[in-house]
Amino acid sequence: MLSNDCIFCKIIKGEIPSAKVYEDDKMLVFRDIEPKAKVHLLAVAKTHFKLLEEADGNSKDILSYMLFKIPEIAKQNGCDNGYRLIINQGDDAGQTVFHLHIHILGGENLPW
């Protein structure tokens, strides 16, 4: 299920443009509009939920699928020497878009 007032749901529906690098029936991966590394991709589930604790059976399956699909997508997009995955959860983490997404950062040596 997608939401009408979520920016990532609008990107999934094609109502807002994005620089897509991968798409299938379960997930979409596009370039972050304000990249924090040479390569900065966002992997989003094609179902709307805000936080890991809200994941139900279907979204848990999608999350697991995303984690196993990301290595191939990362390598195809310039992260062949490693990459970092980040999932911001809530205000203290600085989460700004409340649709679960996985940041994929790489393409260079990343400071911790």
Catalytic residues: 101
Q: Does 34 bind ligand AMP (CB under 6 A)?
A: yes
Gap between the Cα atoms of 91 and 112, Å rounded? 20
- Distance separating the N- and C-terminal Cα atoms of the chain: 35
CB atoms within 10 A of CB 38: 13
Among positions 3, 22, 61, 95, the unique one binding ligand AMP when judged by CB under 6 A: 95
Q: Does 6 bind ligand AMP (CB under 6 A)?
A: no
The residues of the shown chain that bind ligand AMP, judged by CB under 6 A, are 7, 16, 18, 32-34, 42, 88, 94-97
